[in-house]
């Protein structure tokens, strides 16, 4: 608990058996009440490792539903558990669980209802081994998206995110894609609904076991992000209607 608020951490997992123990060991359980791991039909023994560690809620998809589909299950389960604050933490140990306390406190003290762990604030991205082409595309995409949606975020592409329950209940995240662009659609919805977003500097690690998408998937993702921001702008102008913003 933080104050009187229930804290639930969600772990969208895919082939995370090797990195899950280290991620789990650094979660600050003096604040975190429950952890939900959703395994997206992994090919390794992620589920067995999660149960051995004592993860409170382990859900396994029989078929791979994609990164966005995994998050839909994560957030739905967290709301079912009556969470007040929900934090998505990748179990591949690319993001440090040690920032959870800071992110929880920002929402718990009602400073911001959404907090992103930014790899771009400071020098965390390149220092942590982010490929140069990914860093370049991240900066270009973020600049363009900020112009389109009227924001000043340092990045839209981090996977380290914390939300108040009011935010999760206030957006239609179930209408989003099951693919990687889900993250971007979710931020678009949050901005559209005028929830304020805070950011904290987040170191990151790129290594063999950490999840990542290849160059081709990165290009598809980037084009998808631009499409999301353009639709956001047109929806704000009243020129298109979308169930994303219902």
pLDDT at 87 over 80: yes
Q: pLDDT tens-digit profile of 170-196?
A: 999 999 999 999 999 999 999 999 999
Query: Alpha carbon of 27 to those of 21, 88, 242: distances in Å?
Result: 10, 12, 38
What interhelical angle do 132-149 and 215-236 show, nearest 10?
A: 10
For residue 198, being part of any structural domain is answered with yes
Bigger pLDDT: 138 or 214?
A: 138
Query: How many other C-beta atoms lie within 10 A of the C-beta of residue 206?
Result: 14
The count of domains in the chain is 1
State the Rg of the chain over Cα: 17
For residue 160, being part of any structural domain is answered with yes
Residue 218: per-residue pLDDT: 76
Q: Which helix (H) or strand (E) holds 115?
A: strand 114-118
Q: pLDDT tens-digit profile of 48-66?
A: 999 999 999 999 999 999 9
What is the sign, positive or negative, of the torsion defined by CA atoms of 138, 139, 140, 141?
A: positive
For residue 2, being part of any structural domain is answered with no
Residue 134 sits at φ, ψ, to 5 deg, of: -70, -40
Six-digit token string for 16: 């995370």
Lowest mean pLDDT among 9-13, 16-20, 31-35, 134-138: 134-138
Which domain CATH number covers 224?
A: 3.90.550.10
pTM of the model: 0.90
Six-digit token string for 187: 């931020």
List the domain range (segments joined by +) for residue 52.
7-245
Q: Which helix (H) or strand (E) holds 138?
A: helix 132-149
For residue 227, being part of any structural domain is answered with yes
Six-digit token string for 46: 């992620």
Which candidate, 70, 112, 94, 99, places its Cα nearest to that of 207?
Answer: 94
- CA-CA distance, 36 to 199, in Å (whole number)? 24
């Amino acid at each position: 608990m933080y104050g009187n608020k229930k804290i639930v951490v969600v772990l969208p997992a895919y082939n995370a058996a090797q990195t899950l123990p280290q991620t789990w060991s650094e979660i600050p359980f003096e604040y975190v009440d429950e952890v939900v791991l959703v395994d997206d039909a992994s090919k390794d023994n992620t589920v067995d490792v999660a149960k051995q560690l004592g993860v409170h809620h382990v859900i396994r998809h029989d078929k791979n539903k994609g990164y966005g589909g995994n998050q839909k299950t994560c957030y739905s389960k967290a709301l079912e558990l009556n969470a007040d604050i929900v934090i998505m933490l990748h179990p591949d140990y690319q993001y440090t669980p040690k920032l959870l306390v800071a992110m929880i406190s920002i929402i718990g003290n009602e400073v911001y209802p959404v907090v992103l762990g930014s790899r771009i604030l400071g020098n965390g991205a390149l220092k942590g081994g982010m490929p140069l082409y990914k860093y370049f595309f991240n900066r270009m995409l973020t600049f363009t998206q900020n112009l389109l949606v009227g924001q000043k975020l340092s990045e839209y592409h981090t996977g380290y995110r914390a939300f108040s329950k009011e935010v999760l209940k206030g957006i239609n995240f179930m209408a989003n894609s099951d693919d990687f662009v889900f993250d971007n659609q979710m931020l678009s919805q949050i901005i559209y609904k005028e929830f304020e977003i805070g950011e904290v500097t987040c170191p990151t690690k790129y290594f063999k076991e950490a999840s990542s998408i290849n160059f081709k998937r990165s290009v598809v993702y980037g084009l998808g992000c631009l499409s999301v921001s353009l639709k956001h702008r047109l929806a704000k102008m009243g020129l298109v209607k979308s169930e994303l913003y219902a």
